[in-house]
Chain A
């Protein structure tokens, strides 16, 4: 049973991506983030675009012109509220 990996739902994938960014001192390059997130590159791009669009993460460029992803306040709030969101969805069978 354990060998079959459960498919993560959308909210869980978002949580995982945001958690990885936070664990890396709130600054990580897209390539290692893709590796840690266990997603296909296409899914990863779709999720990152969605997160950028909805203001959960923002892209910053350092002095060496390297791109990093960091969490916004909204991103931190999502991480903080995630357990409650899951509880709510489960409670009301949504």
Chain B
């Protein structure tokens, strides 16, 4: 069962055409990923828990979707990490079922959670101007559809493409609903950056798209800074 394990193939010197060498578990990359995931997931869940009291007191729809956003983003980042961890296991097991479980499922669920998060964050800012009936049901249907696409294609590429379309829609909607205000809000820029970093994260999930470790670290630091600013803004009002 383990005859095609990366370690075995490395030792035996056989050529692994479908799995580039750099994407086998590299300790430096793993350390960067663990630290990055821990910080982002911690910040996302802290945002969720810190806003619990003001949501309980108000039952405000905007706050509700804001909270959903960060709980789902936390889960999406966690599953993205599992996806990275399990990609080498895809070649470790000969069984298709195990390959699916370890490689495809985390990516599919990550796609579902992140799509839910993107939709919720968009809706939290436009819900007063644009009322959607059965909001959560609609968002779930769109998210399931996108994650099914990811499952069928077994590649993050279509997930990125779907979410890019969604992001363009978000920008158009936010601009359309806020057409009276001429200046671009700093929060809007922050949200766009947050989405873009998420999609860049999905982009680097593909083993063929290798980035040097220095660029990855820099990228992660800026990404953490964006989530950190959002957390700081939340903490300021939820003492």
Contact B57 A85 (CB under 8 A): yes
Report chain B residues within 8 Å CB of A94: 60, 62-63, 66, 124-125
Contact A89 B236 (CB under 8 A): no
Interface residues of chain A: helix, strand, loop or mixed (majority)? helix
Is B214 positioned at the interface, with any CB of A under 8 Å from its CB?
Answer: no
Size class of B's contact patch? 20 to 34
Q: What sequence of 0s and 1s flags, for each residue 58-88 of chain A, a beta carbon within 8 Å of any chain B beta carbon? A: 0000000000000000100110010011011
Contact A81 B66 (CB under 8 A): no
Is B31 positioned at the interface, with any CB of A under 8 Å from its CB?
Answer: no
Is A2 positioned at the interface, with any CB of B under 8 Å from its CB?
Answer: no
Given A11-B58, A92-B187, do A84 and B238 touch, yes or no (CB 8 Å)?
yes
Query: Pick the contact of B62 from A77, A78, A84, A89 — CB < 8 Å?
Result: A89
Contact B234 A88 (CB under 8 A): yes
Q: Which residue of B lies closest to A86 (CB)?
A: B237
- Report the minimum CB–CB distance from A88 to chain B (whole Å): 4
Given A92-B187, A93-B187, do A84 and B237 touch, yes or no (CB 8 Å)?
yes
A81 to B51, CA, bound (A): 12
Interface residues of chain B: helix, strand, loop or mixed (majority)? helix
Residues of B participating in the A interface, judged by any CB pair closer than 8 Å? 51, 53-54, 57-60, 62-63, 66, 124-125, 185, 187, 233-234, 236-239
Given A84-B237, A84-B239, A88-B238, do A93 and B57 touch, yes or no (CB 8 Å)?
no
Which 3 pairs across A and B sit closest by C-beta, in order of nearness?
A94-B62, A88-B237, A87-B237
Q: A11-B60, A78-B57 are in contact. List 17 more A-B contacts (CB 8 A).
A: A54-B59, A77-B57, A81-B54, A84-B237, A88-B54, A89-B62, A89-B63, A91-B233, A91-B237, A92-B62, A92-B124, A92-B233, A93-B125, A93-B185, A94-B60, A94-B62, A94-B125
Q: Which residue of A lies closest to B121 (CB)?
A: A92
A3 to B57, CA, bound (A): 32
| 30 A-B interface contacts by CB (under 8 A) | A11-B58, A54-B59, A77-B57, A78-B58, A81-B53, A81-B54, A81-B57, A84-B54, A84-B238, A84-B239, A85-B54, A85-B57, A85-B58, A87-B236, A88-B51, A88-B54, A88-B63, A88-B234, A89-B62, A89-B63, A91-B233, A91-B236, A92-B62, A92-B66, A92-B124, A92-B125, A93-B125, A94-B60, A94-B62, A94-B124
